[in-house]
A and B are shown apart, each in its own frame.
Chain A
Amino acid sequence: MLSSTLVSGPRILYFDDIQVGAEYESPGRTVTEADIVLFAGLSGDYNVLHTDAEHMKASIFGERIAHGLLVLSIQQGLLGRAMPECAGSSLIALKWKFRGPIKIGDTVRVRARVTAVREGDKPEWGVIAIERRVLNQRGEVVQEGETEHMIERRRA
């Protein structure tokens, strides 16, 4: 586990603290039927892929699968539990691939690595890029991609 880099107690990272190559691994989270039902209700995406168990029995998945955006959102939350909070962080760009289905009962975790740091448009901000892989309980990559975040710089 790489999450041993996590320090105890609250700590805030500024852009200046972040190093290329830093790695984080989140705890696991089991995706439940309740997660999928709640996400369908919240997002309004009731596609049969996620909501019709009978229809999906006859599909090659054999059962309902989680919304791709649900698991993308879950990994964002998981990474937040493995990485110290970044000051004023906001997501500015995302490139993402859905590699395989996530079924009810699957347990996902995210592995992330800082791949780039660069100056922002304004002196008080910097931008970092994080490469992420979402793995299931068998170690298969089910989603992967890269995110860019704007982070506050430490004030002099």
Chain B
Amino acid sequence: MPSPATTGPAPGSAATQSYFEDLEIGVVLETPGMTITEAHVGLFAGLVGERSADPFAVPDLLPLCLSSGLGWRTDTPPLVVLAFMGFEWRSHASVRVGDTIHARSHTAAKRAMREGGVVFEEREIVNHRGEVVQSCRITLLVARRPAS
């Protein structure tokens, strides 16, 4: 398991970031959407070296990668994540170039640790027809609110 950054969260006032204490079980967050383009697929394929015969097929892991960036763009201040510990993921339907995805997530459980806390997040990736195309359960190590 990656160790946490013991120096604590990044600079920024407490109001601009969310901590372990701020997470409420079951509160649903929806991200803005992102239309997946040929440019996304080409960049991703070149970066990671994944080949595909079908240029309009979106690589299986790309929607998940995009959802992690979309998660920074909700109304809730970003969570101070110290380490991404692991996840379980399933694909339910294929994603094609031109599809617009967004993510819907909630905290399913959380557990305080000596440094920070472990958070279990359930995330669904939804397409523009409202179909859940991928889902995952993510385990994160999150910073506690610094004492001040």
Contact = CB atoms under 8 A, between A and B. Distances in A.
A48 B2 contact: no
A107 to B, nearest CB: 14
Interface string A68-99: 11101110111011000100001111111111
A44 interface: yes
B136 to A, nearest CB: 8
Given A42-B47, A96-B87, A101 B65 contact: no
B70 interface: yes
B91 A91 contact: yes
Interface residues of B, number: 39
Interface residues of A, number: 46
Given A44-B68, A60-B3, 20 more contacts: A38-B47, A45-B65, A46-B69, A46-B72, A47-B72, A52-B10, A55-B11, A60-B5, A61-B5, A69-B65, A73-B44, A73-B50, A77-B49, A78-B49, A81-B49, A85-B51, A92-B90, A94-B88, A97-B85, A145-B86
Given A39-B47, A42-B40, A98-B85, A49 B1 contact: no
A23 to B, nearest CB: 20
A43 B66 contact: yes
Interface of B: 1-7, 10-11, 40, 43-44, 47-51, 59-61, 64-66, 68-70, 72-73, 81, 83-91, 94
A65 B82 CA distance: 11
Contacts of B5: 49, 56, 58-61
B30 to A, nearest CB: 16
Contacts of B10: 48, 52, 55
15 contacts: A29-B49, A38-B43, A44-B66, A44-B68, A48-B10, A55-B11, A61-B2, A67-B68, A77-B50, A85-B51, A92-B91, A95-B86, A95-B88, A96-B86, A99-B1
Contacts of B88: 93-96
A72 B49 CA distance: 12
A100 interface: yes
